[in-house]
Amino acid sequence: MKSISGKDFAKLLEKKGWVLSRVNGSHHVYIKEGHPARISIPIHSNQDLKKGLLKHFLKVSKIDDSEL
């Protein structure tokens, strides 16, 4: 699985129709209409997301890891 930073993943979510709902400190919370879950992405400069967290985000957002 490819590594990706929080900033880059947030851009990918926005391309897929997710909308930035609010910012709470360094966490950006995204929502999507018709989708019950919300995604809170830690944006810490350009640090990569940890593998388990990235897998969870991909599962919740229904994005294939080949799209990274």
For the chain, domain boundaries: 6-62
Domain 6-62 has CATH 1.10.3720.10: no
Q: Yes or no: say if 6 and 43 are a contact pair by the CB < 8 Å rule.
A: yes
The neighbour count for residue 18, using CB atoms within 10 Å, is 20
Of 60, 57, 62, whose CA–CA distance to 4 is shortest? Answer: 57
Of 3, 4, 62, 1, whose CA–CA distance to 34 is shortest? Answer: 62
Residue 17: half-sphere exposure toward Cβ, Cα within 13 Å: 7
Q: Yes or no: say if 49 and 6 are a contact pair by the CB < 8 Å rule.
A: yes
| Predicted confidence (pLDDT) per residue in 35-66, tens digit | 999 999 999 988 999 999 999 999 999 999 89
Categorize the per-residue pLDDT at 68 as very low, low, confident or very high, splitting at 50, 70 and 90: confident
- What is the pLDDT at residue 6? 96
What is the average pLDDT value for the chain, to the nearest integer?
Answer: 94
Mean pLDDT, residues 2-18? 95
